[in-house]
Amino acid sequence: TPPDDAVMILLGASGDLTRRKLVPALFQLYRSGLMPGRFAIIGVARRPYDDPSFRERLREGIRERCAPQDEEDRCSEFLEHVEYFRGDLEAPDTYASLRDHLDRGGDRYPSGRLFYFSLKPDLFIEAAHHLREHGLIDSDSAAQAGEGAWRRAVIEKPFGHDLESARALNRALLEGLDEKQIFRIDHYVGKEAVQNVMAFRFANTLFEPVLNRTCVDHIQLTAAEALGVGGGRGGYYDRYGAIRDMLSNHLLQLLALLTMEPPSGLDSDAIHNEKTKVLKALRVDWRGDASPAFCRAQYAAGVMDDGTRAVGYRDEDRVDRDSETESYAAVRLSIDNWRWSGVPVFVRTGKRMKRKLTEVAVHFRHPPLKLFRGVECEGAHCDVRGVQPNKLIFRIQPQEGIFLNMAVKRPTLPFVVEQADMDFSYAGKWGRELPEAYERLLLDALRGDTTLFTRSDEVEAGWSVVEPVLKAMDRTPLYSYPAGSWGPAEADRLFQCSDLPDECLC
Ligand code: BG6
């Protein structure tokens, strides 16, 4: 489907997201010929820019992210479509004058309107209310929208602070728009290697039949970041923390794609139905105090991999000096359904860890008969009890790819079994940079395709999973780990599967 002609109204456009992510992604679409035939971009914010100074700010962002030097003309041509509208988005008058401005624009603006909420999260509900009150958004089913005059809203994360606030935000949005007009963004779902999880599972015959409790021992999902919460993000992060910022959304989305049942088709509803269903089956796997299901921690000062010294979390800009916010969280989950019952799922995420790494590892069981138990086994992956079971790794970033570990006989006279890998890497196969998640997602929003966005019930199901952890937060110790490490030693207790069957090797 080609993108629809549109005026894109970026609410909160003076923020970093517009400069660093949104506009560079739109420019990439433009240079690939994927922007609509007619489009305009209006940035709305309070800061005193005018069109030229706003465009200059965006040009810098484009240069930093993507544009080679020789594309300055193309960049200027693109920026001709951009304008700035100064206004305080907390004031109702701004919405009235924005509406008048759009109406007066006549043919200059296409009739389809896409509002992008990249505002302070506290303002989402208020902004949705004012947009509706001033007739800027309206549900398609309310029939006022004429031919081509569609209305859409893209909502940045965080989508709420907990289950209750997410429900309130859903209600506010659904008062003015139909579900199909709401695009709740989760940029992880737009990542190439995340989209590929579906292709890998459902476009191959080989793997899907073994992704279940009979063959899988446990699943580990890791999202480690080397970055801290500097760069002006401290204020936001200190209110949210790792569970809300990463786990409740990005990581559960990734897990849902890996563990959901095959959808009946590739349409948006079929996929969202399956994702919601598995999210509803996810539970925190509490097993009493002896084996905690949840571990949280904060980074202390330390030395990063590249030798730089990093300050501790509480010394970061805009972070409370006595903050109790977790910059690391690990949770053990279970999936209470026929396919996954009894398979532990370990999820961990943290900032200022050794290096950036996002991957999902599916650890398979030992073969039922351990023929090679006594046979010599060598190599880094070998286990004292014999050959290590298969492991399937979805590397989301960096060095995106899919890796399968298996045991093979070494070509020597003594019978030695060792580990070997079957690798698929994007770099090896295509050798070029992958598109940014925002390119895919913005293009889909312009096409009106909600497949890679999250539906209201799905978002609420995600919050329901972490709700017990949020409630237990005050009662859970806050551990510490040095910046540049792999997290707190205490988290290892979660990953010890002592009460699991003998086959478990985690
Ligand atoms: C954002 C979080 O949604 O995702 C950030 O708010 C985090 O805290 C970022 O750093 C990670 O995204 P990526 O694409 O760099 O893994």
Q: What percent of the chain has pLDDT over 90?
A: 78
* Per-residue pLDDT tens over the stretch 447-470: 999 999 999 999 999 999 999 999
Nearest CA to ligand 1 atom 8: 245
Q: Which amino acid is at 182?
A: I
Is residue 429 part of an annotated ligand binding site? no
Q: Taking residues 221-236, what's their average pLDDT?
A: 93
Average pLDDT value for residue range 485-506: 65
Percent of the chain with pLDDT over 70: 92
Token pair recorded at residue 203: 């476009």
- Which atom of ligand 1 has the smallest separation from the CA of 236? 6
Please choose from 189, 221, 225, 352 the residue to mutate so as to test ligand 1's pocket, defined by most ligand atoms within 8 A of CB: 225
- Ligand 1 pocket check for 245: Cβ under 6 Å: yes
Q: Is the CB of 157 under 6 A from ligand 1?
A: yes
The answer to whether 372 touches 417, Cβ cutoff 8 Å, is yes
pLDDT tens digits for range 468-477: 999 999 889 9
pLDDT at 66 exceeding the cut of 90? no
Residue 352 Cα to ligand 1 middle (Å): 12
Contact 422, 200 (CB under 8 A): no
Identify the residue whose C-alpha is closest to ligand 1 atom 4: 246
Active site positions, annotated: 250
* Cα 249 to middle of ligand 1, angstroms: 11
For position 289, what pLDDT does the model report? Answer: 61
Residue 503 has pLDDT above 50, yes or no: no
Q: Which amino acid, residue 360?
A: V
Encoded tokens for 420? 């070997």
**231-250 mean pLDDT:** 94
Residue nearest (by alpha carbon) to ligand 1 atom 6: 245
pLDDT tens track for 37-49? 999 999 999 999 9
**The predicted structure's pLDDT at residue 232:** 84
Nearest-5° Cα angle at 305, 301 to 310 = 25
Among candidate residues 335, 390, 338, 359, the one with its CA nearest the CA of residue 196 = 359
280: annotated binding-site residue? no
How much is the mean pLDDT over the chain?
91
| Residue 157 labelled as part of a binding site | yes
Q: For residue 397, how far is its CA from the centre of ligand 1 (angstroms)?
A: 12
